[in-house]
Amino acid sequence: MSVRVLWLTKGLGRGGAERLTVGAARRLDRSRYDLTVAYLLPWKDALVPELSAAGVEAHCLAGGTMLDPRWVLRLRRLVDDAGFDLVHTHAPHPAVGARLALGGVPIIHTEHNTWDRYRPATRWANRATYRKNAAVIAVSQAVADSIQRRRSRARDRVPIHVIRHGPDLGDGQPAATRSSARRRLGLDPHVPVVGTVGNLTPKKDHRTLISAHAGLVRERPDARLVVVGTGPEEQHLRRVIHSLGLDDAVVLTGSRDDVAQILPAFDVFALSSRHEGLPIALLEAMASGLPVVATHVGGIPEVVDDGVDGILVPAEDPGALGAAIRKLLDDRDLRSDLAVRGRATARRFDLTHAVRQTEAIYEHVLALP
């Protein structure tokens, strides 16, 4: 008989962790696990149709906001009615609610971010309820280390397993060409293009990338920056772009469901984050054959060896970021070398292998044969 598993997350928008949920759902051994997904934010539901296509039912628990406590009651009712054997949480807020509301059902929690980026109240609630986890999965060693630094009592020391999740490489889409990708974005086929993918949130620090691009444009007026994503920082970033005179040099595409098909439009992929657990967008770019420049934060140095399969720079340093991007744009051979080695690195982080490791944790927690 199948093990009934509930994955609980904050939302199902187009962020990296959310896309990872869909990819992992496709890879889960469905002969052994009967999977359901629940989420809290009704306006973050872009990936619900993809889960449905994969044969996974998704339940929205919140009627309005996460602050509405009724979602906890709906979660408890869902778990009681469906008889789930295990709950796997993927964000601190729903995880805390699950730990407080559910008794008798093992909870496994995946930590996607380092603890220092959470607000103090989130950090406190997460730490106060952590001992109720049966096991914890950290997406990088940096994330695992941040948890260990915050836990002091022996009773809080639940097992932590580091599982680095890679991109979903088996989506079946035909490979896009550089020319077709640029046509999708309306870009000139001959101009240098720097691109990034990620939600427009403070932790991604797009302002530093835009400032770096301003310096690049002074030397190469035809250079373009493509920013894929949406989020609360969008209007602020538009004002920054305008103030720097970059209206014609920066393209904000909004959220896209064809990221794999537009990545080949970029000559360089850049990530300017202040904080990261392990960014899936970076690994997707590397897997697609793009040379990458990224900040030396979180789990990024665990997958990018500076100067070998990418370039790492300090966070919040537009000068260093801009210099690294110019170095790649000016050196075709270096771009090619980093792209080849980066592709090989990214493909070592196979999503199927990560899902098998997760299943092994399920089996251990549930004492399955």
DSSP secondary structure of 284-336: HHHHTT--EEEES-TTGGGT--BTTTBEEE-TT-HHHHHHHHHHHHH-HHHHH
Q: Report the distance separating Cα 265 and Cα 52, nearest Å.
A: 30
Residue 155 has a pLDDT of 47
Residue 66, pLDDT > 60, answer no
Helical spans, DSSP H, in the chain? 16-27, 48-53, 70-82, 92-101, 120-129, 141-150, 178-185, 206-219, 234-243, 259-262, 280-287, 318-330, 332-346, 351-366
Q: Mean pLDDT over residues 54-75, rounded?
A: 83
Confirm if 262 and 279 have CB atoms less than 8 A apart.
no
Eight-class DSSP state of 247? T
Q: Which of 61-75, 90-104, 202-216: highest mean pLDDT?
A: 202-216
Q: So where are the chain's domains?
A: 3-166+350-366, 178-346
Residue 156 has a pLDDT of 59
> How many beta carbons lie within 10 A of that of residue 91, not counting itself?
23
Residue 215 has a pLDDT of 96
Residue 100 has a pLDDT of 92
Strand partners, 292: 269
Residue 176, pLDDT > 90, answer no
Is 178-346 the same fold as 3-166+350-366? yes
CATH number of 3-166+350-366: 3.40.50.2000
Confidence band, pLDDT 50/70/90 cuts, at residue 154 = very low
Q: Mean pLDDT over residues 84-111, rounded?
A: 94
Q: What percent of the chain has pLDDT over 70?
A: 95
Q: Mean pLDDT over residues 283-304, rounded?
A: 95
Residue 43 has a pLDDT of 86
Residue 174, pLDDT > 60, answer no
In the numeric block, which tokens belong to residue 84?
Answer: 């789930």
Query: Tokens 């250079």, residue?
Result: 223
Q: Report the distance separating Cα 309 and Cα 345, nearest Å.
A: 7
Mean pLDDT, all residues of the chain: 91
Confidence band, pLDDT 50/70/90 cuts, at residue 150 = low
Please determine, looking at this structure, whether the domain spanning 178-346 carries the CATH number 3.40.50.2000. Answer: yes
| 3-class DSSP state of 144 | helix
Residue 15 has a pLDDT of 81
Q: Mean pLDDT over residues 50-65, rounded?
A: 86
Please indicate whether residue 80 or residue 1 has the higher confidence score (pLDDT): 80
Residue 112, pLDDT > 70, answer yes
Residue 30, pLDDT > 50, answer yes
Least confident range of 106-120, 149-163, 170-184: 149-163
